Chains A and B, each alone.
Chain A
Amino acid sequence: MGGSSLNKPELIIDGKRRDGRSFRDLRPIKIEASVLKNAEGSAYIEWGRNKILAAVYGPREATPKHMANPNKAIIKCRYQMAPFSSLEGHSRTGPNRRATEISKVIKEVFENVVMVNEFPGSEIDVFIEVLQGDGGTRAAGLTAASVAMANAGIRMKDLVYAVSAGRIGDHVAIDFDMIEDNYSDADMPVAVAPRNNDVLLLQMDGGFTKEQFAEAKELILEAGKTISEIQKDALKRVYDVKGASE
């Protein structure tokens, strides 16, 4: 939505999207779990041209002490884009308005799936570092963080995934890249707990009609099956050590 309407590129060429995908196609996704030795859990995701590292530390003693909750663990999340991650605008260090917002919404997603009652007084840290961004980084970051969380052995009710759906003119499509994100008419990242299809995050930029929203929902749930499989596969691959047998 951020782009100027004067130099808007063609988003649909011959009934297909700029990169040749149909409206239902995801970009290629690759996840690798347990990539960082010093983190309790970690994951690296390549989602189209997005490259994101997620790391999870904890549960450990909550600091500062007054933040600790004696009944449950607190979750802290830091989403950050590296200075070199995109064409402009991330060179200043420290969190900006956008990073603070994304960190907050991701934190709230995990507060709903992590069994926080098991570790009272502790904190769980989630770090999401975007190395290269090309649209949909919050969805990709959350998907990776979820794998990192499971890799850390933190008890969760479900393995969350996230993906965005949006609208180009009258067409509802899934998984926007940067250009589509900037010039589309609506963009809606959604995080879902796949077992019961509980929606844990839904942000919308632009608007949908009722029918378009239903279509977007259907696209997300369908794409979610693919993403979930990739997540599970990444976790399983960690234990394919040589000499292993069932």
Chain B
Amino acid sequence: MVSMRKIVVPGTVVSDHRLSMDNTYVDGTRTVSAVVGLFDDSRNEVIPLEGFWKPRSGDIVVGVVEAAGRNGTYKVVLTEFVNGLIIQDKYDREHYMPGDIIEAKVRDIEHKVLAVLEEPRRLEGGTLMNVKAVKVPRLIGKANTMIKQIMDLTKCSMVVGRNGLVWMKGQGVAEATEAVLRIEHEAHTSGLTERIKSMLEKGENRNT
């Protein structure tokens, strides 16, 4: 997998044609980057290095219940400016308390900043950590490779929300946190899965 990647900044022209890409905008006949990111010319995409989560339907998110509304609705904090809303069926309701951590899937987005959630699931106990939302795809990895590896090696159960909240529980929480922080820091480099693997395996030997 050898492809040319270069760092782009807002205002860098990435193509002389009109292309529909995330994190870019079209100006006249050209496509221009709107973020600091890596431009991959073989796949024609700009991978942001910094940025915020924009809700999309189908995203798995982790959030904290903030308040109960009427008729079984709950307000969930997802990020600083995106809130989630749990709407439940009349006959089949789950009760949540403010402070409960939940995992859910985004169904619809209203006014760009309100995500209507479905299939909520309470996450009991555990710890919550924040990562940059742009690093989440790297943390999950291709076909979940990275996150599975961390879960296997640290014997933690983890849920990674696209909004940048990571929930984890289990005996190796400290190691898992360390691995997540390292991925966040080195997300734009290659060969990271291997490095994380060796890092966690070394840690295992130390413990035994």
Contact = CB atoms under 8 A, between A and B. Distances in A.
B52 A153 contact: yes
Given A156-B10, A157-B32, A195-B11, 15 more contacts: A41-B50, A61-B81, A115-B34, A118-B112, A122-B113, A150-B50, A153-B48, A153-B52, A159-B11, A193-B11, A239-B49, A239-B188, A243-B186, A244-B189, A246-B190
Contacts, number: 98
B36 interface: yes
7 contacts: A61-B80, A153-B51, A154-B51, A159-B10, A235-B7, A243-B195, A245-B189
Nearest to B6: A246
Interface in B175-204: 185-186, 188-191, 195
Given A60-B80, A70-B111, A159-B11, A243 B36 contact: no
Interface of A: 41, 58-61, 70, 113, 115, 118-122, 150-159, 193-196, 231-232, 235-236, 239, 241, 243-246
A158 B23 CA distance: 13
Contact of A150 (B5, B9, B13, B186): B9
A16 B34 CA distance: 41
B35 A153 contact: yes
Contacts of A156: 10-11, 34-35
Contacts of A243: 186, 189, 195
A143 to B, nearest CB: 13
Contacts of B49: 153, 239
Contact of A119 (B34, B112, B189, B190): B112
A173 B43 CA distance: 46
Interface in B97-111: 111
B54 interface: yes
B134 interface: yes
A122 B79 CA distance: 12
B113 A236 contact: no
When A and B form their complex, which 6 residue pairs have the shortest distance between CB atoms, in order from nearest? A153-B50, A153-B51, A158-B11, A156-B10, A155-B34, A122-B81
Nearest to B188: A239
A118 B7 CA distance: 23
Contacts of A120: 111-113
Nearest to A62: B81
